[in-house]
Amino acid sequence: MEEVQARAPGKIILSGEHAVVHGSTAVASSISLYTYVSLRFSTPSDNQDLLKLQLKDPALEFSWPITRIQQVLPESAAVLSSTPASCSVECAKSIAALVEELDIPEAKIGIASGISAFLWLYSSIQGFKPATVVVSSELPLGSGLGSSAAFCVAMAAALLAFTDSASLDVNQQDWQFFGEKELELVNRWAFEGEKIIHGKPSGIDNTVSSYGNIISFKSGNLTHMKSNVPLKMLITNTKVGRNTKALVAGVSERMLRHPDAMAFVFSAVDSISKELTSILKSPTPDELSVTEKEEKIEELMEMNQGLLQCMGVSHATIETVLRTTLKYKLASKLTGAGGGGCVLTLLPTLLSGTIIDKVITELESCGFQCIIAEIGGTGVEVKFGNSSS
């Protein structure tokens, strides 16, 4: 049987987005919303030499003759699946040519980077085999919940599942995790995909999607942790689309214009993330200390949001969410790249359901979409057999 499914979670960044690209510490958590990738290799009875890609979320399908891909991407055949490699500038140009041939509708042109990442990962890990790949997601795309990372992690997992690098039980029909060494390989390949979509990613998004739970991350070094505080977050999607690559580039340009001031901003974010890490890791003996910790976390979120405004990545709709939740004495901060997208609001343990309902009603009356997702769930998993099972 030559079919496998992979699923990888989205994420929220509790502190440190953007600054993490410049070497500060960041704290991120997986959330229980997943992207699914199914991979089925063609058999001789299929009698076709196409690589097919079905993207359920933008409702688009594409296919390429394998010979066309081989003609355009000969060098990727030299890449070993056990040695993640970046897509070279020449290769990126070749892939761009393949993607331009697709005539993607202008309104959905943002998915071009995802298709490019797919072509690089597929040809590098699996070479030139006819297959059908289907992608679907519970995550809003381009909203700050790590949809690109979940896409790349689930894709890398499905592609590696059939290689010698993966120590998996192909006869097991249930969801299963990779071994530690293989999971690192999935994460490193996903990072190569994120580079194509994000431009200059820090690696925190694909790492928390690969490993799950909560991580403290600084320049590739990570600390895995489970929160000793029962963090309950309201996620408000402003539904303002934006592009992480452009927002990350904008912060780098501001840093070049104001190097000293921005260095202090990044350093302050580093301190906030380190304090948040120690709060989350410290034991919580009783309810009082939970409330005390929640108050500290709220203050850190508020301070981080102020620094994100310094970086120029807030947005009018994000400010509307901040003002609305502040009326109820709740702390909020953007999560992910900002510029629209999603905003986190901490819901303290002692907050009444009535207040939560009022906040959600007011936010949704602004046209926003609110979800309360469990945070700190599992990382990437794979399941052999067809996706209907």
Ligand X SMILES: Nc1ncnc2c1ncn2[C@@H]1O[C@H](COP(=O)(O)OP(=O)(O)OP(=O)(O)O)[C@@H](O)[C@H]1O
Ligand Y SMILES: C[C@@](O)(CCO)CC(=O)[O-]
Q: Does 151 participate in binding ligand X (rule CB under 6 A)?
A: yes
> Which positions from 209 to 248 touch ligand X by CB under 6 A, shown as an x/- string?
----------------------------------xx----
Candidate residues 123, 126, 148, 317; the one interacting with ligand X per rule CB under 6 A: 148
Between strands 50-55 and 3-15, the pairing is unpaired
- The phi, psi pair for 282, rounded to 5°, reads -75, 145
Among ligand Y, Mg ion, ligand X, none, residue 137 binds (CB under 5-8 Å by kind): ligand X
- Please work out the total of residues on this chain that contact ligand X, with binding judged by CB under 6 A: 27
The full DSSP string for 32-99 is: EEEEEEEEEE--GGG---EEEEEETTTTEEEEEEHHHHHHH-GGGGG--TTS--PPPHHHHHHHHHHH
Q: Does 197 participate in binding ligand X (rule CB under 6 A)?
A: yes
- The phi, psi pair for 284, rounded to 5°, reads -120, 90
Q: Does 304 participate in binding Mg ion (rule CB under 5 A)?
A: no
Tell me if residue 15 falls in helix, strand or coil.
Answer: strand
CA 344 to CA 231: how far, in whole Å? Answer: 11
- Please work out the total of residues on this chain that contact Mg ion, with binding judged by CB under 5 A: 2
205 a catalytic residue: yes
CB of 277 to ligand Y, least distance (A): 16
Q: Which amino acid is at 194?
A: E
Q: Does 311 participate in binding ligand X (rule CB under 6 A)?
A: no
Query: Is the distance from CB of 343 to CB of 321 less than 8 angstroms?
Result: yes
CB of 283 to ligand X, least distance (A): 31
Q: Does 269 participate in binding ligand Y (rule CB under 6 A)?
A: no
Beta strands in 145-281 (DSSP E): 214-218, 221-225, 233-237
Nearer to ligand Y, 205 or 270 (CB): 205
Residue nearest to Mg ion (CB): 148
Among ligand X, Mg ion, ligand Y, none, residue 25 binds (CB under 5-8 Å by kind): none
CB of 209 to ligand Y, least distance (A): 10
Positions in 81-110 near ligand X (CB under 6 A) = 110
What tokens were used for 74? Answer: 């000969």
Positions in 130-189 near Mg ion (CB under 5 A) = 148
Q: Does 38 participate in binding Mg ion (rule CB under 5 A)?
A: no
Between strands 50-55 and 131-137, the pairing is parallel
Would you give the DSSP letter of residue 109? G
- For tokens 């780098």, what's the residue? 252
Active site residues: 205
Residues engaged in binding ligand Y (CB under 6 A): 13, 17-18, 20-21, 146, 198, 201-202, 204-205, 244, 248, 336-337
